[in-house]
Amino acid sequence: MTADETAAAAPPPGEPPAELPVELPVELIDSHAHVDGPEFDADRDAVLARARAAGVRRMIVIGAVGEPTSAERAVALAERDPDIWATVATHPHDVEKMTPAWWDVHERLAVHPRVVAIGETGLDFYYDHSPRQAQADAFVRFVDLARRVGKPVVCHIRDAHAEALEILKETGAAELGGIIHCFTGTPADAAAYVALGFHVSFSGIVTYKSAQPIRDAVKEVPLDRILVETDCPYLAPIPMRGRRNEPSYVVHTARVVAECAGVSLDELARVTVSNTCAVFGLPPTP
């Protein structure tokens, strides 16, 4: 290459050289991922590598779907990867099937040093896959477990905000701290959880056209209480909607949440990383 050609290839002053990515990834934490699930068995390592390349080095794996093998798998992932932490519980959808043996698994894993919260637990009166009373009973019992092990609770609440707020107040769950994950309530619901001391986590749903009330709810959550998550493999954010969701996609959710909160993506990334570390008691990011 001649000197002239080099000069011609150089970018105009003030622009980055072409070989560097124009937009370096911001650092984010996926605060709620189900990468323990069978949906990722074929390519889990590639998914985790893509997350890291996209700036999502750390994630919280929620071991709560179906049988407690989900909890066991989440803990196993956290044991082998220093950037992954686990939570354990049984999802409100599945609590009807819980046996004493399931509770024993959760009791045993809850004290594991890589388990940073109890969840997801709560109430889902949209699907009603388990009877409402069974959901409420398990929710109370998981909050009690969280209290005994001194860890926060990850709450899954859908179409049951009044009932959930009542349980959270009665059980004093706010003292433990916790997250209302994949928030789908109204701005007033968000304000009520914040007033109780909870963090609120937004998923890809916030990017969907029909989700204006959820975008409005972002404004009710102070910057120091907001988290972002994928809830993968479900709920891929726009522009990935329809695909299997994965942790690297959390940036699309973060971008919309930043817009709603009136801050830059960089600022939203900084505060959500800090909030996620604070609520789960993670060591600060290096």
User: Applying CB under 5 A, which residues contact Zn ion?
Assistant: 62, 120, 156, 231
The amino acid at residue 210 is S
CA distance 125 to 99: 22
Query: In the bound complex, what is the minimum distance in angstroms from residue 40's beta carbon to Zn ion?
Result: 14
The nearest distance, CB 159 to Zn ion, in angstroms, is 13
How far apart CA 115 and CA 201 sit, in angstroms, is 19
Nearer to Zn ion, 203 or 275 (CB): 203
Whole-angstrom Cα distance, residue 61 to residue 270? Answer: 21
> Which residue, 62 or 194, has its beta carbon nearer to Zn ion?
62
User: What's the closest the beta carbon of residue 33 comes to Zn ion, in angstroms?
Assistant: 8
Structure tokens at 201: 């986590």
Who contacts 92 (Cβ-Cβ below 8 Å, separation ≥6)?
120, 121, 122, 123, 124, 129, 130, 135, 138, 139, 156
**Measured from the CB of residue 14, what is the shortest distance to Zn ion in angstroms?**
44
Residue 226 CB neighbour total at 10 angstroms: 26
Which lies closer to Zn ion via its Cβ, residue 90 or residue 171? 90
Residue placing its CB nearer to Zn ion in the complex, 72 or 267? 72
**What SS3 state is found at 246?**
coil
Shortest Cβ contact with Zn ion: which residue? 156
Closest contact distance (angstroms) between CB of 34 and Zn ion is 6
CB closer to Zn ion, 48 vs 62 = 62
